[in-house]
Amino acid sequence: MKFESILEEIDGFGPFQFAIIALLCTPRIVLPCHFLLNNFIAAVPPHHCDISTLDEGGLFRNSGITQEQRLTVSVPTRENGDPKSCEMFAEPQFQLLSNSSNSSDLQTVQCQSGWVYDNSTFTSTVATEWDLVCDRKSLTKTTSTIFFFGVMLGAVAFGFLCDKYGRKKTLLASYIMSMFFGFSSAFANHYPLFAVLRFLTGFGLTGITINSIVLSIEWVDVSHRSFIGVIGSLAWSVGNMLLAGFAYLVNDWRSLIMTVTAPLGFAILTWWWIPESARWLLANGKMEEAQYYLDRCAKINKRKNFNSSKFKIETLANIQVLEKQDRNYSYLDLIKTPKMRQLSLMMAIVWYGVASTYYGISLNISGFGLNMYLTHFIYAAIEVPAKLMVYFLLNIIGRRKCQAGTLLLTGTCIIINIFVPKDLWHLRAAVAILGKGLSEASVTTIFLYTTELYPTVVRQNGLGYSSCISRLGVSIAPLILLLEDVWTVLPQIIICAMAIISGLVSLLLPETLNVRLPETIDDREKPSRKDVSSHSVESSGVFLESKNTADT
């Protein structure tokens, strides 16, 4: 007997399962609020050199000129008339007040006494707090990269801890770690400490990602995993939309961090009602505790005919042995044989492209004529119809065409925006939003596709390996955006190339629609004649994580 047989007896899709989804909803909403938080806490508002110290030398004393005129004679301007951000004249040029002299030939120096920031949008950000502008502006993007490196390492660590100590205990550790380091980062008094605390926050949040998904899936029967996957992933989209609202209402970066971290306090309170995974308990010989949760599930799902005595300790022990049979494989099995090695290489390329494309677009929310709050909200809202669309298309056109199509169309949208003039911001915004929706559809597809491509015996290892590769892509995405200083459209060209290359590579993958999934590595190495059925239970039901952001 396998664990799925018990789920059939106690109802693998009832109030008990929906209660788990509800209890895990709050922490899942917190995830995008932190993953994309850098858009707001590290925003760089308009700024120019601080010229207030010039008064100390008496240059403007009794001059009778206004503050605006002082700025004109002290700071060179751009073509649009705004003052430059990082330069000032070596000495005030009063002749600029009386004629239209060309200021481009006048000697300039770097800002000598700091900067003055426009506080109309933000009261304060990390950039204004520690002057991360001009020659230090790369540190604003580096903050995001440091955070995602923490997420990447957390995926490796919590993947191990999740299997060793259980899902529930590890989830509590993730809650506490994320909350502690999240709040601590809001009180950092210098940038290096802030960067370290953001790294540790990302590390802790990964445990929430892994454990919430695993707990949701391991209590649900096979035929309803796709539905539960979509419902769970919608929490990410809700959190993403809420982030725009929180950032709009809370303009101080320290207060904003505390605002998006605070819901974890509620998550800790509700943790007591979250059940441990009965599948993990059985696999680790904890039969009595597993029987307790199974009885609890049957009672909540009103399976009155469930006879707990039918599943005695001996029966559960037998299930324990069967569950452990799938645990004798490691990451090395992904590259030991030719076709598995080929599959792992192609999946690495596709996952890297999917992750870097999604976050490359998500972290670039300016330049379309809309304010950043509205752009972020629209980017988040478009994810909902994208998820629903791909949910239906996957069973119509297949996984391979859906994966390749969404990536190639995302690349096409980026190409269009490279050539569309900035004056046509309506068109640019519409194309960018469409591209964001398509990139989200590619994320949703890749989770299902991955679970169907890897054999059952290494499926969890395949997902872990793929998740690590995706985090690498996410970590590098903010650094790619810095290349706009080299050439304005260079980041878009790189992200576009990644989307197209990964889309073309996905065309080389085998189709899995209505095909019996491989159970062993031999099934992948030496596939027999395709066993096609119109409604293959496992094929339609292994939609594990339809959205992991953090993400993605």
Q: What is the pLDDT along the chain (552 residues), one digit of tens a residue?
A: 567 778 888 888 889 999 999 999 999 999 999 999 999 999 999 999 998 877 655 566 666 677 788 888 888 888 777 889 999 988 877 777 776 556 667 888 999 889 999 998 899 999 999 999 999 999 998 999 999 999 989 888 887 788 788 889 999 999 999 999 999 999 999 999 999 999 999 999 998 988 887 788 788 887 777 677 677 778 999 999 999 999 999 999 999 999 999 999 999 999 999 999 888 888 777 888 888 898 899 889 888 766 555 555 555 555 544 445 545 577 788 899 999 999 999 999 999 999 999 999 998 876 555 689 999 999 999 999 998 888 788 878 888 999 999 999 999 999 999 999 888 888 988 999 999 999 989 988 888 788 788 886 777 678 778 878 888 999 999 989 889 888 989 999 999 999 999 999 999 999 988 777 676 888 888 765 444 443 444 444 444 333 443 344
DSSP 435-483: HHHHHHHHHHHHHHHHHHHS-GGGHHHHHHHHHHHHHHHHHHHHHHHGG
List phi, psi (to 5°) of 422: -65, -20
Identify the pLDDT of residue 540: 41
Q: Which amino acid is at 293?
A: Y
Given a contact cutoff of 8 angstroms between Cβ atoms, the answer to whether 3 and 279 are in contact is: yes
Q: Which amino acid is at 34?
A: H
Domain 330-552 sits in which CATH superfamily?
A: MFS general substrate transporter like domains (1.20.1250.20)
List phi, psi (to 5°) of 111: -55, 130
Cα separation, 20 vs 50, whole angstroms: 54
Q: Which of 489, 487, 508 lies closest to 342, judged by CA?
A: 508
Q: Cα 457 from chain centroid?
A: 27
Cα separation, 491 vs 478, whole angstroms: 10
At residue 481's C-alpha, the angle toward residues 117 and 43, to 5°, is 25
221 CB-near residues (< 8 Å, 6+ apart)? 4, 7, 8, 12, 13, 541
- The residues with which 115 forms a beta bridge, in sequence order, are 49
The structure tokens 């440091």 sit at 146
DSSP 519-537: -SHHHHHS--S--B-TT-H
Residues in the chain: 552
Identify the pLDDT of residue 221: 81
Identify the pLDDT of residue 458: 79
76 CB-near residues (< 8 Å, 6+ apart)? 83, 84, 87, 88, 89, 103, 104, 106, 108
Q: How many helices (H) and strands (E) does the chain have?
A: 24, 4
Per DSSP, the three-state class of 344 is helix
The structure tokens 């858009």 sit at 39
Given a contact cutoff of 8 angstroms between Cβ atoms, the answer to whether 50 and 114 are in contact is: yes
Structure tokens at 443: 């994320």
Structure tokens at 263: 């819901």
Structure tokens at 429: 């915004």
At residue 179's C-alpha, the angle toward residues 177 and 182, to 5°, is 100
87-89 and 47-49 strand pairing: unpaired
- Provide the residue ranges of all domains of the chain, joining segments of one domain with +: 47-95+104-117, 330-552
Cα separation, 153 vs 275, whole angstroms: 26
Q: Which of 350, 349, 323, 340 lies closest to 461, judged by CA?
A: 340
Identify the pLDDT of residue 392: 83
Structure tokens at 344: 């792992």
Question: Residue 98: how many CB atoms within 10 A of its CB?
Answer: 7
CA dihedral for 245, 249, 251, 257, sign (positive or negative): negative
Helix (H) or strand (E) holding 290: helix 287-300
115-117 and 108-110 strand pairing: unpaired
**Residue 405: is it exposed, middle or buried by C-beta count within 10 angstroms (0-12/13-18/19+)?**
buried
Identify the pLDDT of residue 194: 97
List phi, psi (to 5°) of 330: -130, 180
Cα separation, 544 vs 552, whole angstroms: 14
Given a contact cutoff of 8 angstroms between Cβ atoms, the answer to whether 503 and 353 are in contact is: yes
Structure tokens at 71: 């700025």
Cα separation, 118 vs 446, whole angstroms: 42
